[in-house]
Amino acid sequence: MSQTPTADQLRNRLVDAILAEHRMPAAVERAMRTVPRDAFLPGLDLENAYTDQAVTIKDNPGKPLPLSCASVPSVVAMMLEQLDARTADDVLEIGAGTGYNAALLAELANRGSVTTVDIDPDVALHARTRLNANGYEHVTVIERDGLLGAPENAPYDRIIATVGVWDIPATWWDQLNDGGRLVLPLRWRGQTRSVALTRRGDQLVSDGMELCGFVPIIGQHGEKISPLNADDTIRVHYDEDQDVDPNSLAATLQMGKPALEVHSAQRVGGQEPFDGVWLRATAGDDRVCRLEVTPQALEQELLRRPAIPVRSPVLVEGDSLAYLTITREGAEAERPFRLGAAAYGPRAEELARDLVAHIDAWGSDRLAVPRMTITPVGWASTAGHVIGKPESRITLTY
């Protein structure tokens, strides 16, 4: 009879599985093999504690996303690699969650300090309790709005956010050392990327970004969501600086006309990512938003199926829109799926062709990632496409 695997065995098996798919620095690997994730998720069975998936620790009644959760372990490892915390670093974490990530940070910065902040008293208490129970009493846990940071322990060599951030508050600039690193799930134009940034005087300059998804931080309201039909089964997500008229878009979709479709020259395999299309488009086009289509809308065939129904890039202008599609063409081909655009409204053809141009630009160098430079409001931006936010300016260049 086979024996039930122990927590240590399951933890090492999980780390081995992550290593088989993703690179991981030796220090991060040691930390993930050391810290018992199950101890920060009491009540969850061991198998689920060591599965590469997120775990909700506090629901958010009436909202589509939980208030707090334990992040996917492979994403945790990826962000820790981006952070590159050193043994003597002073580290600030925004979003305490279970306390697990703070424990990993304490292993990495074992001769420095770790401070973690969370706005929710239950979440902060859970993190404090679990950290104490597992030998991490030296980690500072503060119940506070994460947008304020933790000036009492500043300055920091590393700041990491484990919640989605739409704008970088001035307080974080004040608390990050020059030469220090900031890693955060940054939200713009409907997408979220874990961006690794190094402070160089009055600039934060990126050296990497990865697709991710995180619960948004409480207190930032620059992202808008509007229904495009009476049943609220089709929605557009956009930023406050974008010129979006949901009523006009809804009227266009209600006309029930078939989509105008334009195919690109770009094909992808079944497991080949194409999220770079969205990223590429945001580096020069302020019309990029996110389209969300629920299963109910798809069943009713209210519009042509988007590439990824819950989140696809869409160009919006006036009463017209064009969004990303994927069409299967030939099961035997190495890349059997063709990318394209479906569009509605008076400017459908123009928008569809503009989106296809973004797809083809991505296709010319599929692994290219833009350089992101962020400056505080009031400071001069560098050359490139600028996205303005209340407290910062984001510049993207390829």
| 73-83 vs 7-21: helix crossing angle, rounded to 10 | 60
| 29-66 tens-digit pLDDT | 999 999 999 999 988 999 999 999 988 765 545 555 44
Tokens of 67: 């208030």
Contacts of 324 (CB under 8 A, 6+ apart): 274, 277, 278, 306, 307, 308, 312, 313, 314, 339, 340, 341, 355, 359
Show the DSSP H helices in the chain as ranges.
7-21, 26-34, 46-49, 73-83, 100-108, 121-133, 170-175, 246-254, 276-282, 295-299, 348-364
* CA distances (Å), origin 186, targets 38, 60, 192, 244: 28, 21, 5, 21
CA-based max dimension of the chain: 68
Name the percent of the chain lying above pLDDT 70.
Answer: 96
| 209-248 tens-digit pLDDT | 999 989 899 999 999 999 999 999 999 999 999 999 999 9
- Name the DSSP class of 389: -
Name the percent of the chain lying above pLDDT 90.
Answer: 88
Residue 198, H or E segment: strand 191-200
| Cα–Cα dist 110/162, whole Å | 20
Mean per-residue pLDDT over the chain, rounded = 94
Contact between 34 and 107 under an 8 Å Cβ cutoff? The reply is yes
* Cross-strand partners of 118: 143
| 153-172 tens-digit pLDDT | 999 999 999 999 999 999 99
| Cα–Cα dist 240/245, whole Å | 12
Name the 3-class secondary structure at 130.
helix
| 67-112 tens-digit pLDDT | 467 889 999 999 999 999 999 999 999 999 999 999 999 999 999 9
| 57-75 tens-digit pLDDT | 655 455 554 446 788 999 9
**Residues with catalytic function:** 74
Contact between 153 and 92 under an 8 Å Cβ cutoff? The reply is yes
Q: Would you list the DSSP string of 136-197?
A: -TTSEEEES-GGG--GGG--EEEEEE-SBBSS--HHHHHHEEEEEEEEEEEEETTEEEEEEE
Cis ω for the linkage preceding 306 (within 30 of 0): no
Backbone angles phi, psi at 253, to 5 degrees: -70, -30
First to last CA, the chain: 58
| Cα–Cα dist 318/294, whole Å | 23
Number of Cβ within a 10 Å radius of residue 213: 16
Model pTM? 0.93
* CA distances (Å), origin 317, targets 66, 238, 345, 346, 354: 32, 12, 9, 10, 12
| 73-83 vs 26-34: helix crossing angle, rounded to 10 | 140
Give a three-class secondary structure readout of 243-269. Answer: CCCHHHHHHHHHCCCCCEEEEEEEEEC
Name the 3-class secondary structure at 212.
coil
Looking at residue 43, its pLDDT comes to 87
Residue 375, H or E segment: strand 371-376
Q: Report the length, in residues, of the chain.
A: 398
Nearest residue to 33 via CA among 93, 97, 103:
103
Q: What is the pairing mode between strands 191-200 and 203-211?
A: antiparallel
Judged by average pLDDT, the poorest of 43-47, 276-280, 380-384, 388-392 is: 380-384
| 304-342 tens-digit pLDDT | 999 999 999 999 999 999 999 999 987 667 889 999 999
